[in-house]
A and B are shown apart, each in its own frame.
Chain A
């Protein structure tokens, strides 16, 4: 390769954007060419310099300020329903591809809603405590569509869910069984 060609590629080289063969050719040239070697080293120094640019430090009240701003948004949106926990959301969920564990985590939440609802309707029991009631439904089989899984999504993946789900298949109409982990110590 010629110097003018290398010169064009130095940026890509330093940013690791070249294919392996071109990368090797460039390095080979640079090792034997003082001019290109100098230009390469200048770029390398600059990159190191920018990388080491001191981080700006946020003031200590940044979080509080942000929380206050967010709270004022909440007040604006949720005047009608003070019990609402969530931020404003678009009702049209996105039909994106989800992995099976993702969908399972999602359906745990959905099913816990469904099952608890059904139980409180049929048995006329008090609606709390939730976990205790949910425990009774071990072994229930619930049929649900994939769309519903997608719509609710995972609230539960931040920790291992108390409830878990076994699904025959995740295609539409697949049967799922809601089971409860042993939570007796927590109750």
Chain B
């Protein structure tokens, strides 16, 4: 009997014939919950760059750890796909996993004084610019310096709002904060950035 089931499984998840419409994230996670590894791999393919970008934006200058953390996002998904409850979209769910992983990482790191990486420390946040920046020109430099004045929370929200273009409602789900806090936090982050940029590179804005 098991060979029959396996055979049916293989038939069912064969993706060799192209389909007119791409399956939704929510369909893929359902399929994965029921055992389709193909569905999981597709989700990884869809989201790995976005997850990595989100994590790197918060942890500049520590790309080795960022990649581990990014894998951790998908491992959590792999181990507990049922945690996705369809109360939100899959993307906000996945970003909330990434957010929690980064927060835990930051907390753990800041509890280890002997570590060379202390995220509560201004020096670390100002870190080196992302080492794969295509051009490390003046603007990028000032921009990175300005970013370094933000807390991890403020970086998170800036990325989710401006880079990922999530709505305030989605951001409130991802960060588990209310809409009022979303507003005030994004405004604080932006005002800090603009203040820093004005100071460091006045003619840019």
Give me the interface of A with B, judged by CB distance under 8 Å. Answer: 11-12, 15, 17, 41-43, 45-47, 49-51, 53-59, 62-63, 65-66, 69-70, 73, 83, 85-90, 92-94, 96, 102, 109, 112-113, 116-117, 120, 127-131, 152-162
Contact = CB atoms under 8 A, between A and B. Distances in A.
Contact of B19 (A49, A66, A130, A160): A160
B56 interface: yes
Given A85-B35, A94-B85, A157-B31, 10 more contacts: A42-B194, A56-B130, A62-B70, A73-B79, A85-B6, A88-B79, A89-B33, A112-B8, A116-B8, A158-B38
A11 B13 CA distance: 45
Contacts of B85: 94
The 8 residue pairs across chains A and B that have the minimum distance between CB atoms: A86-B35, A50-B162, A56-B56, A90-B82, A155-B12, A156-B12, A130-B7, A127-B4
Nearest to B16: A159
Contacts of A53: 57, 143, 159, 163
B9 interface: yes
A87 B29 CA distance: 12
A86 B36 CA distance: 6
If over half of B's interface residues share one DSSP class (helix, strand or loop), that class is named, otherwise mixed; here it is helix
B162 A55 contact: no
A15 B185 CA distance: 14
Report, as a range, how many residues of chain B touch the other chain: 35 or more
Interface stretch (B44-52, B88-96, B99-107, B112-120): B44-52
Given A96-B86, A154-B30, A128 B12 contact: no
